Amino acid sequence: MKHVVTLNEKTLKESLKRGGCGECQTSCQSACKTSCTVGNQGCENPNR
Amino acid sequence: MLHQYKNNGYNIVLDVNSGSVHVVDELMYDAMAVGEKLIGEIEAPIKLDDETKAKIKDALIDKYSEKEIDEAVADIQELIDVEELYTRDTYELYINDFKERETVVKALCLHIAHDCNLACKYCFAEEGEYHGRRALMSYDVGKRALDFLVANSGNRKNLEVDFFGGEPLMNWQVVKDLVKYGRSLEEPNNKKFRFTITTNGMLLNDEIMDFCNKEMSNVVLSLDGRKEVNDAMRPTRGGKGSYDTIVPKFVKFAKSRGTKDYYIRGTFTRNNLEFSKDVIHFADLGFKQTSMEPVVGEESETYAIKAEDIPKIMEEYDKLAVEYIKRKKEGRGFNFFHFNIDLTQGPCVAKRLSGCGSGTEYLAVTPWGDLYPCHQFVGKDEFLLGNVFDGLKRKDISNEFKLCNVYAKPKCKDCYARFYCSGGCAANSYSFHGSITDTYDIGCELQKKRIECAIMIKAALAG
């Protein structure tokens, strides 16, 4: 593509197939405590 | 749904429903917008017909050459083919499964001390007391809390326990004893505890640092930035500043963490809207993991963020982002919690739908063992869920939290940021609107800005 650089692929749709293991960190346990910042949490599913 | 924005010289297009992020030139920026009006959202790839192509050409021909427009249309087609443009939100179909999901408790915020040796003016815990009495958690209550967590965690292996307050170091022996007890539960129950602690640092000493470096996977160190800013809002109970006491300890502590996490975490208020300077101050002190949160308080408080402050705050995030990129490129970078975003290995859709987990996966425990949906609900009687001795009694309240998701919040439905913030903070929503399915509007504006900056930073550091 001449006019586009894509930083990532369709990650959300792909994650539907293997997601939901629940092993990830609870978001407020990190460094916020007063807002909800799920998007910056990591995935901890070893099988993703 | 697309979200298009320009920041720091980058043209960025988010295809919200696929999660794809595109950095584009001016031509493509315009072409994608025109395309969205004509194509809308599609569930599966389509071939652009001649009529659509002609309409895109008509819309752009005054600004771009025919050849350029043909190239843009080809690029659009390519992105449609790989389902990274104009995709439809199909996750709402998943929501029925989501509502039926079995939830387990996987994290506790242990209010180890409802007491504090600072008198921070914005404290939602009211100087540690949470609208109630001063109290320290006993070892017995703490033990029962850990037993409750293990018993209610199903097959979940990693369990999180945050020692919170008030100031948890005011009850340090119990913290140590509970860590020891928690470790004794790991092997027989096939669990792994991740202990964390949030402290103001006043009582930190070498023994505490050594213990935390061995046992705590993360430590959150509270400091608001520059001395005058910190001391204005974080005085001791005697009215003195806390900066000079805590900063040398925090610097030493951060250096000693090794591979374990820490965050130096501040709160900014209306009194220091130039908070980018405070974050840079953290970086200049040598801290590599930083966080700075907007204060949340009653609108009547003089320090509370008001809608009219939003433009200034946005400017500050932009300034911070530019400096952040500069320092990363110079090899002296630091991390800022709200600019962390993992575009490829981030949370799955299930996590993004379920949000922070308050009231279901995450609960707060008071010093006397009462359970609340999270630390910010503690002291609000209408949210008392039960206690660690008798378990969860108010399944109706837990269910309300379980069903709280981006599709249950009318304001989130058309918001591009819904899969990044997952509907925002339930406690903030309740504080401002009396409902957990609303949103805290100022918080949303700031959250969106942080997401835009975080993605722009990815673009800048990728190129």
Q: How many domains does chain B have?
A: 2
Contacts of B248 (CB under 8 A, 6+ apart): none
Query: Within this chain, do residues B83 and B107 fall inside the same structural domain, yes or no?
Result: no
CATH number at residue B206: 3.20.20.70
Q: Residue B406 domain-assigned?
A: no
Specify the pLDDT at position A48.
66
pTM for this predicted structure: 0.94
CB contact under 8 A, B291 and A28: no
SS3 annotation, chain A: CCCEEECCCCHHHHHHHHCCCCCCCCHHHCCCCCCCCHHHCCCCCCCC
pLDDT of residue A27: 66
Chain A residues with CB under 8 Å of B107 CB are 25-26, 29
User: Does B36 lie in the same domain as B132?
Assistant: no
**pLDDT at residue A10, rounded to an integer:** 76
Instruction: Report the residue of chain B nearest A27, measured CA to CA.
Output: B356
CA distances from B268 to B210, B279, B445 (A): 30, 10, 16
The pLDDT score that the predictor gives to residue B441 is 93
Considering the domain architecture, whether residues B29 and B160 belong to the same structural domain is answered as no
- According to the model, what pLDDT value does residue A22 have? 80
Are residues B32 and B137 located together in one domain of the fold? no
Q: Is the peptide bond before B241 cis (omega within 30 degrees of 0)?
A: no
Mean predicted lDDT score pLDDT of chain B: 94
The reply to whether residue B420 touches residue A6, judged by beta carbons under 8 angstroms, is: no
Residue B352 touches chain A, beta carbons under 8 Å: yes
- Both tokens of residue B375? 């630390």
Whether residue B427 is contained in a domain is answered as: no
Within-domain flag for B435:
no
> How many residue contacts between A and B have a Cβ separation below 8 Å?
224
Nearest to A26 among B160, B338, B422 (CB): B160
Comparing CB atoms, the residue among B87, B295, B344 nearest residue A8 is B344
Asked if A29 and B109 come within 8 Å (Cβ–Cβ), the reply is: yes
Q: Which residues of B touch A12 (CB under 8 A)?
A: 17-19, 91, 349, 352, 419
Extract the residue ranges of chain B whose pLDDT is less than 70: 463
Do B80 and B121 share a domain, yes or no? Answer: no
Q: Which domain holds residue B64?
A: 2-89
B107 assigned to some structural domain: yes
Amino acid at B119: A
Of A23, A43, A48, the CB nearest to B157: A23
Pick from B192, B112, B109: nearest CA to B150:
B192
Q: How confident is the model at residue A32 (pLDDT cuts 50, 70, 90)?
A: low
B49 and B179 share one domain: no
Question: CB burial class (10 A; 0-12, 13-18, 19+) of residue B129?
Answer: middle
Which member of A3, A28, A30 has the closest CB to residue B72? A3
Give the pair of three-digit tokens for residue B126. Answer: 């009211």
- Please answer yes or no on whether A10 and B294 come within 8 Å at the CB atom: no
Establish if B155 belongs to a structural domain.
yes
- Per-residue pLDDT reduced to its tens digit, B262-286: 999 999 999 999 999 999 999 999 9
Shared-domain flag, residues B178 and B44? no
ipTM of the complex model = 0.89
Measured between beta carbons, the chain B residues lying within 8 angstroms of A8 are 19-21, 343-344
φ and ψ at residue B268, rounded to 5 degrees: -110, 150
| Per-residue model confidence (pLDDT) at position A30 | 64
| Distance from C-alpha of B134 to C-alpha of B128, rounded to nearest angstrom | 7
A35-45 residues labelled b (16+ CB within 10 A) or e (exposed): bbbbbbbebbb
Does residue B188 lie within any of the structural domains? yes
Q: Same domain, yes or no, for B81 and B140?
A: no
Name B459's Cβ contacts closer than 8 Å, sequence gap at least 6. Answer: A5, A7, B10, B12, B21, B23
* Shared domain check, B157 and B55: no
List own/partner pairs for B333-337 with CB under 8 A and 24 or more apart.
B334/B282, B334/B283, B334/B287, B334/B288, B334/B289, B334/B290, B335/B288, B335/B289, B335/B290, B336/B279, B336/B290, B336/B291, B336/B292, B337/A30, B337/A31, B337/A32, B337/A37, B337/A40, B337/B263, B337/B265, B337/B289, B337/B290, B337/B291, B337/B292
| Selected residues 250-289 of chain B with any CB under 8 Å from a CB in chain A | 263, 265, 267, 289
**Residue to test with chain B: of A1, A2, A3, most B Cβ within 10 A:** A3
Q: Which of B356, B363, B430, B455 to mutate to test the interface with A (most CBs of A within 10 A)?
A: B356
Pairwise CB contact (< 8 Å): B18 & A12: yes
Question: In chain B, how many H helices and how many E strands?
Answer: 16, 15
Query: What is the model's pLDDT at position B361?
Result: 92
**Do B63 and B183 have their domain in common?**
no
- Number of neighbouring beta carbons within 10 Å of residue B205: 10
Indicate the length of chain A as a whole number: 48
B198 shares a domain with B135: yes
Q: Which of A46, A20, A31, A23 is nearest to B153 (CA)?
A: A23
CA-CA-CA-CA torsion sign (B419, B421, B425, B430): negative
Q: How confident is the model at residue A39 (pLDDT cuts 50, 70, 90)?
A: confident
* Window 377-416 of B, Cβ < 8 Å to A: none
Residue B211 lies in a domain: yes
Residue B329's pLDDT is 97
- Minimal CA–CA distance to B18: which of A6, A26, A35? A6
In a domain, B463, yes or no: no
> Which of B339, B358, B390 marks a domain boundary?
B339
- Listed by number, the residues of chain B in 2-31 with a beta carbon closer than 8 Å to a beta carbon of chain A are 17-25, 27-28, 31
Confidence label for A31 from pLDDT (cuts 50, 70 and 90): low
Whole-number pLDDT of residue B279 = 98
